[in-house]
Amino acid sequence: MEDVVVSVEDVGKVFQIPKERSRSLKSMVLSRGRNRGYRRFEAIEKVDFEIRRGEFFGIIGQNGSGKSTLLKILAGIYVPTRGKVKIDGHLSPFIELGVGFNPELTARENVFLNGAILGMSRTEIAEQLDEIIRFAELEQFVNQKLKNFSSGMLVRLAFSVAIRARADILLIDEVLAVGDANFQQKCYNVFRRLKAEGRTIIFVSHDLASIKEFSDRVLLLNKGKTYGIFSAAEAIGKYSELNQARVTRELERLGNVGEREHELNRPHIKNVELLNRAGDGIRAISCGAPLRVRLTVANPDEVPLAVGVAIYRTADNLYCFGTNTIVEDVDLKPQRTVTVDIEYPRFPLQRGTYDLTLGVFDPTTGQAYEMMDHVLDFEALQDNGTEGVTFIEHMWEQQAGER
């Protein structure tokens, strides 16, 4: 096809991960001849796709599906171990906003620095400086050092520079998860404009809503392979199915480990479910609605145990809330199967994707019998227009004043 601008053919990436991080000559010399140095890790096994000119191409996949490796290969940061990547035109070479920002420099200096890192020339940046600052709404802060900026200001500045990067193909990773609603709206407008201008955009996000709104086609990655290329709506459906399957698989894997360590008979997680009050399984939750996490733990030896549940925001791994039955003095009866529900009566987290980290512990020593990190993504949907990480219960009240 003539207007294919990105073609990825049978790309694979294998990392050689040193078993002991060999950073010194000594360990290098000592381990010479012995073949225990490296572990192979195949981050991407086989990925194929083509992107056409003017397309808004989404990429989704779970954590560990090879998304970021693929992005880095597209950006030229990693060299693929196998396969071919052909790019026709200039592709924005960065995968994160605000790369190289220095807190000790002023906003203006940082725009020049960041712009240069993104491949812009000094004159190009100088010409667009005012516009960049205006878009970021930082007119009064041009000569302030970045260390005095809030994270919202940083994101605005970073985004504002990034969209000026002279590139035919823009690589955008996970930007809309941060920033206040007002600025998000501006970002959306930029996306619409870029799309209307016919720019090619590769957009990677956990935010299924924005994937759905913008993407013409979506690549779904699963375990380092192309699972398929779908329309946005279809991709999100498949993604949810995969997500559920992954939890089941994870449980099976942990179950197997449990069997292998049969002599230990350690307690292990059998199942995790997200439920609404009616007891139906759910994958999305509105802000303020009740959310129940049901944990089923197999405990063959009927030992005393404690469980913990932590919630992370997937986009930036922000630890939102965590608790366990030890700190809250909840005694769990040591049965063969322990089923525990934790209910958040009014789930307070704002719009975004979150995931759970779960653990089963010995209640006296606090040692983990088993941990499941970052499993079970779910969407929080919040549409009341408030901002921030969490919805804090509050009220407004006008006091008597002069008439």
Partner 1 sequence: MAYKDLVRELAATEFKLKYQGSVLGYLWSFAKPLMLFAVLYVVFTRFVRLGGGNIEHYSLYLLLGIVLWSYFTDSTSTAMSSIVDRGDLIRKVYFPRIVIVVAASISSLITLLLNLVVVFLFMLVARIPVHLSVPLFVLLVAELYVMSLGCSLLLAALYVKFRDFRHIWEVGLQILFYASPIIYPLGLVPHNFVPLLTLSPVTQIIQDARWLLISQKTVTAADTLHLPWVFVPYLLPFLFLWLGYSYFNRTAAAFAEEL
Taking a C-beta distance cutoff of 8 angstroms, is the pair 275, 282 a contact?
A: yes
Residue 9 beta carbon to partner 1: minimum distance, rounded to whole angstroms: 19
Residue 168 beta carbon to partner 1: minimum distance, rounded to whole angstroms: 15
Whichever of 113 and 194 has its CB closer to partner 1, that residue is 113
DSSP 130-184: HHHHHHTT-GGGTTSBGGGS-HHHHHHHHHHHHTTS--SEEEEES-TTSS-HHHH
Whichever of 111 and 232 has its CB closer to partner 1, that residue is 111
Taking a C-beta distance cutoff of 8 angstroms, is the pair 31, 53 a contact?
A: no
Residue 363 beta carbon to partner 1: minimum distance, rounded to whole angstroms: 41
Q: Classify residue 136 as exposed, middle or buried by CB count within 10 Å of its CB (0-12, 13-18, 19+).
A: buried
Q: Which residues contact 256 (CB under 8 A, 6 or more apart)?
A: none
Q: What order do you get walking across the sheet with 268-275 strand by strand?
A: 268-275, 291-298, 337-344
Task: Give Cα 48 to chain centroid, integer Å.
Answer: 22
Torsion of CA 182, 125, 57, 353, to 10 degrees: -40
- Residue 317 tokens, joined: 């791994």
Residue 183 beta carbon to partner 1: minimum distance, rounded to whole angstroms: 22
Residue 175 beta carbon to partner 1: minimum distance, rounded to whole angstroms: 14
Whichever of 23 and 40 has its CB closer to partner 1, that residue is 23
Whichever of 95 and 194 has its CB closer to partner 1, that residue is 95
Residue 62 beta carbon to partner 1: minimum distance, rounded to whole angstroms: 21
- Residue 99 tokens, joined: 């790369």
Count how many residues are written for the chain.
403
Whichever of 2 and 104 has its CB closer to partner 1, that residue is 104
- How far apart, in whole angstroms, are the C-alpha atoms of residue 193 and residue 175? 17
Whichever of 91 and 232 has its CB closer to partner 1, that residue is 91
- How far apart, in whole angstroms, are the C-alpha atoms of residue 283 and residue 294? 13
Whichever of 23 and 262 has its CB closer to partner 1, that residue is 23
Whichever of 94 and 239 has its CB closer to partner 1, that residue is 94
Taking a C-beta distance cutoff of 8 angstroms, is the pair 89, 198 a contact?
A: no
Which residues make up the interface to partner 1 (CB under 8 A)? 15, 23-26, 28, 72, 75-79, 93-96, 99-100, 102, 104-105, 109, 112-113, 116-122
Q: What is each CA distance from 371 to 277, 285, 367, 374, in whole angstroms?
A: 26, 24, 10, 10
DSSP 240-283: HHHHHHHHHHHHHHHHHHHHHTTTTT--EEEEEEEE-TTS-B-S
Task: Give Cα 390 to chain centroid, integer Å.
Answer: 18
Whichever of 13 and 268 has its CB closer to partner 1, that residue is 13
Residue 97 beta carbon to partner 1: minimum distance, rounded to whole angstroms: 10
Helix (H, G, I), strand (E, B) or coil at 232: helix
Whichever of 57 and 101 has its CB closer to partner 1, that residue is 101
Residue 73 beta carbon to partner 1: minimum distance, rounded to whole angstroms: 10
Residue 293 beta carbon to partner 1: minimum distance, rounded to whole angstroms: 34
Residue 99 beta carbon to partner 1: minimum distance, rounded to whole angstroms: 5
